[in-house]
Amino acid sequence: MKLDRTEEHIQNLFNRIAPVYDQMNDWLSFGSHRIWKQMAVNWSGARPGHIGLDLCCGTGDLTRLLALKVGGSGQVVGVDFSRQLLAIAGDRQPPFTLSPAPITWVEADVLDLPFGDHHFDCATMGYGLRNVLDIPRSLKELHRVLKPGGTAAILDFHRPENGFKTFQQWYLDRVVVPVANTFGLKAEYAYLNPSLEKFPTGPEQVALAKEANFSRATHYAIAGGMMGVLVLESGG
Ligand SMILES: C/C(=C\Cc1cc(O)c2ccccc2c1O)CCC[C@H](C)CCC[C@H](C)CCCC(C)C
Ligand SMILES: C[S@@+](CC[C@H](N)C(=O)[O-])C[C@H]1O[C@@H](n2cnc3c(N)ncnc32)[C@H](O)[C@@H]1O
């Protein structure tokens, strides 16, 4: 399947799936995506009082988890260029809990962030890196806005090199796409499988992070290798 890769195409795709995005993720992963997102936030290095950034925040799942981590003395910014997903994020109340950090929602392109250099202590990016048009530029922007010693965790799909690869391909094509089709979103979800073919492997992501001047980069395969988390440190 040829990927029509323009920013406007990606933006429109996510604006179209916005009404069912969260529900589809919960149904199709049996809620497991929430565990994977919590793992990414736990690996992000976020601490109380930090200024945190969630890139490609969508409806704000990781943004709210980051807000819980940095707490009332911290701040969190969620960035996305899908106005429809951001609207859902802004409407959702954080889960009842003690003083999560205030969240600011920003509609912007993560390839051209509207923030100064070295502003954030920590960052997350959940299922965004595979969808940006320029992965090296996205990593360089992330490095630019992180403080020296800042940390980040990037969660996304991972193409396993084990028996789960066949299962993952089957599940995406034979379960995810037919369910999406019931909402008239067959093409939008059919994009998933081929997008994995082009996505850099864990070791390739580590190499790209080093080229973006991150001092430390480690990739952890999770969920049987069907997902992965790239953990970064921006260096002194
Ligand atoms: C939260 C998840 C995916 C987010 C996501 C990312 C994208 O790039 C998309 C592109 C186009 C349309 C939608 C998305 C999108 O939702 C991961 C969970 C949801 C997945 C749709 C389901 C993935 C299932 C795994 C391959 C296998 C799950 C095994 C299991 C626990 C039975
Ligand atoms: C699969 S969703 C992930 C949403 C959320 N992080 C989560 O884990 O559920 C991918 C998100 O990336 C956003 N996105 C893709 N490219 C972007 C870009 N260049 N700038 C800002 N947002 C972008 C899309 O609008 C979409 O909200």
ipTM computed for the complex: 0.98
Which of 4, 33, 36 gets mutated to test ligand 1 (max ligand atoms within 8 A of its CB)? 33
Cross-strand bridge partners of residue 221: 228
Any atom of ligand 2 within 6 Å of the Cβ of 57: yes
How sure is the predictor about 121, in pLDDT bands with cuts at 50, 70 and 90? very high
53 neighbors 163 (Cβ within 8 angstroms): no
Cα-Cα end-to-end distance for the chain? 43
Ligand 2 center to residue 82 CA distance, Å?
7
pLDDT in tens, 204-219: 999 999 999 999 999 9
Which DSSP string do the residues of 64-115 spell out, in sequence order?
A: HHHHHHH-TTSEEEEEES-HHHHHHHHHSPPPS-S-PPPEEEEE--TTS-SS
Q: Is the pLDDT of residue 133 over 50?
A: yes
How sure is the predictor about 118, in pLDDT bands with cuts at 50, 70 and 90? very high
Atom of ligand 2 nearest to the CA of 82: 25
CATH number of the 7-233 domain: 3.40.50.150
How open is the CA angle 188-85-198, to the nearest 5 degrees? Answer: 40
pLDDT at 95: 61
Average pLDDT over residues 27-40: 98
Lookup: tokens for 29:
């992963």
Ligand nearest to the CA of 111: 2
Whose C-alpha lies nearest to ligand 1, atom 8? 127
Mean pLDDT rounded to a whole number for the chain: 95
pLDDT at 5: 66
pLDDT at 162: 87
Helices (H) and strands (E) in the chain, counts: 11, 7
Domain positions in the chain are 7-233
Pairing of strands 75-80, 227-233: unpaired
Q: Phi and psi (nearest 5°) for 117?
A: -65, 145
pLDDT in tens, 67-107: 999 999 999 999 999 999 999 999 987 666 666 899 999 99
Ligand nearest to the CA of 128: 2
Q: With pLDDT > 90 as the criterion, what percentage of the chain qualifies?
A: 92
Ligand 2 center to residue 232 CA distance, Å?
19
Any atom of ligand 2 within 6 Å of the Cβ of 36: no
Give the CA-trace dihedral at 154, 160, 161, 167, to 10 degrees: -170
Distance from C-alpha of 41 to C-alpha of 64, rounded to nearest angstrom: 10
pLDDT at 96: 60
Any atom of ligand 2 within 6 Å of the Cβ of 125: no
Ligand 1 center to residue 55 CA distance, Å?
17
Atom of ligand 1 nearest to the CA of 32: 31
